Amino acid sequence: GEFERHFRLPEKADSQQISASSEHGVLRIRIGKSAKAQPRRITVNH
């Protein structure tokens, strides 16, 4: 039969890095984390 479940992803989840597999009746879902923004130096000309 069919099964459907909805849930919210955390803010750090990267929706482009989601995969799902099913083996022996077990559903495995993997969700990658978004890369943390790296600090950078910006030169301001005046």
Q: Which domain holds residue 19?
A: 1-35
Global pTM reads: 0.58
**Do residues 31 and 18 lie in contact, with contact meaning Cβ atoms separated by under 8 Å?**
yes
Residue-level pLDDT at 18: 93
With tokens 């923004």, the residue in question is: 37
Residue 26 maps to a domain: yes
**Degrees to nearest 5, angle at CA 36 with 32 and 42:** 150
Residue 20: inside a domain: yes
21 bridge partner residues: 28
Number of domains composing the chain: 1
14 in a domain, yes or no? yes
Position 12 in a domain: yes
Beta strands in the chain (DSSP E): 13-23, 26-33
Helices (H), the chain: none
Per-residue pLDDT of the chain (46 residues; tens, 9 = 90+): 888 889 898 888 988 999 999 999 898 999 998 887 677 888 999 8
